[in-house]
Chain A
Amino acid sequence: MSETAENLYRALVVERARRPLHAGEVEAADGAADGSNPLCGDRVHVTLRRGDDSRLAEIRHATRGCAICIASADLMAESATGLDDAGLSALWHRFEALLRDGEAGLGREDGAALGLLNAFADLHEYRSRRKCATLPWSALLAAAGTGEGS
């Protein structure tokens, strides 16, 4: 595809959309929630388990959606595992900022904290597609009971 396509659909995104590593459902979950976008019919079901320290020990997603949505759910599950609620909230705010302003709006620390999620750095140029990446997050935040997300 074209150069711009490769910016938006980076190899990692296409790879995770084709073969997600964190798909499925956590058994005996401590939290579960759905996200759905009535405009396109995309749907994400997130389940999670907390460890003894109450950190997020395992996150899984069952996603029916576009490549951006599936990859976002998968990279979210990977990035949020091991975090406590404050860490999850901080990561979400950084991700939101990335989608809103792109890399230009981030400090060096934010970029490092985002890690794999930087794969979505060019999504801020595609307003109509941002919701595809945030949908799994609203389900995760609801499943974790943080009272955030949209």
Chain B
Amino acid sequence: MNALTMPVPDLSAYRADFPILSETVRGKALVFLDSAASAQKPNQVIDAMTHAMRHQYANVHRGLHWMSERTSDAYEGVRDKVAALLNASSRDEIVFTGSSTNAINLVAHSYGSLLRPGQAVLVSEMEHHANIVPWQMLRDRSGIALRVAKVTDAGEIDLDSLRAELADGKVGLVSVTHMSNVLGTITPAAEIAAIAHAAGAKVMFDGSQAAVHQPVDVQALDADFYVFTGHKLYGPTGIGVLWARRAILEAMPPFLGGGDMIGSVSFERSLWAEVPHKFEAGTPAIIETIGLGAAIDYVSAIGLDAIRAHESDLTGYALERLQAIEGLTVMGHARARGGVISFSIAGAHAHDIATLLDQNGIAVRAGAHCAEPLMKRFGLTSTARASFALYTTRTEIDVLAETLDRVRSFLV
């Protein structure tokens, strides 16, 4: 069933799994609308991590002893869970990294070293800095050009502009977001992949936001690379994922060198381990990876389809409530969007809005959201942003809308 036909599920019972949601802030019940920056954690994740530290922990892949073997099994088991989450064709295509940022930097260094001067990497105007700066660094170090596809006024990637940038066949890699952390826009990834491939380019999707709000199938998208970060998927910080096609990973040189990523080492030369271990130098984030596994089990049990349907209902409701507020403008109006809404209020600065909301226990983000070029594209310096998660309720959106109305009459 897809989000359009699925009845809106009632996820309210899951709130009880998130202990932090019963905290108070400045004497008010916490209304947490900043999950796009980082999501809160359910007991299942917290417990899995503390269980590992209390009962089953040792370094992985190394010790010939009971604890190490069990911990290695738990750690490697998460690779299977991630492979299932993304519908990867093999567990060996899953590389654990520290975050989306680390994953993109890995690709920029390693795959970037296979590109030749004269070739280019193509991003879009709506990228997070994490999908801009590594490519600028690649450009400055090795002369690979950086091109930018335009974003329309509606806040969608301009596919004509994307095609135009690809037309000369010099783009080796298209790297774009699967969902904007500012506009909420869900990009047409399968279509973008087809366009990129037709021009001879590989394609990478930044799934930091998308993987949290909807099911992702890297094979159906026909992607070449896909990255996401654990802490936005209700998991811990310090763990992220790079998925890439096996043949690509095999062709790529290692990124970091050290233990765990080698077959054998001598001072003359070392042989690399097989993929994915070739890209996992040093002791990995064992406990965080186990936490990510618990987070994947958790969202899978609820169902990402159900989470999408819930958030899509909330987003529609929030757009309706917020747009009824005098002077409030929502940034972008893409046809396909997830639970992220950036807005401004005429005559009120985003920071004042955020501070006044905070005094009422409501957490939103304010600023440029690590996407300065996109803000500039829309002629803005900062906006406030409310973002939703599986635990967000309509009541919280009511509180936001009512408080924003008071904030406006106070400031303007």
Q: Which residues of A contact B (CB under 8 A)?
A: 1-2, 4-5, 8-9, 14, 17-18, 39-42, 64-69, 126, 129, 132
Contacts and interface: CB of A to CB of B under 8 A. Distances in A.
The 9 closest A-B pairs by CB, nearest first: A41-B381, A66-B349, A66-B351, A67-B352, A1-B410, A4-B359, A66-B352, A5-B359, A40-B382
B360 A40 contact: no
Interface string B369-388: 00000010000011000000
B355 A8 contact: yes
Contacts of A14: 410-411
Contacts of A66: 349-352
Given A5-B410, A14-B411, A68 B359 contact: no
Contacts, number: 53
Given A39-B367, A40-B381, A41-B381, A1 B356 contact: yes
Given A39-B367, A67-B348, A67-B411, 20 more contacts: A1-B406, A1-B410, A8-B359, A9-B410, A14-B411, A17-B411, A18-B412, A39-B368, A40-B351, A40-B366, A40-B368, A41-B368, A41-B381, A42-B381, A65-B349, A66-B350, A66-B351, A67-B352, A68-B352, A129-B351
Contact of B355 (A42, A65, A69, A126): A126
Interface of B: 26, 348-352, 355-356, 359-360, 366-368, 375, 381-382, 406-407, 410-412
Query: Which of the listed residues A18, A65, A66 has the most CB atoms from chain B within 10 Å of its own CB?
Result: A66
Given A40-B368, A41-B382, A67-B411, A2 B351 contact: no
Contacts of B355: 8, 126, 129
Nearest to A1: B410
A53 B237 CA distance: 59
A108 to B, nearest CB: 30
A63 to B, nearest CB: 11
Contacts of B412: 18
Nearest to A4: B359
A109 B349 CA distance: 34
B26 A4 contact: yes
B182 to A, nearest CB: 14
A40 B356 contact: no
A66 B355 CA distance: 11
Contacts of A132: 351
A64 B349 CA distance: 10
B356 to A, nearest CB: 6
Contacts of A65: 349
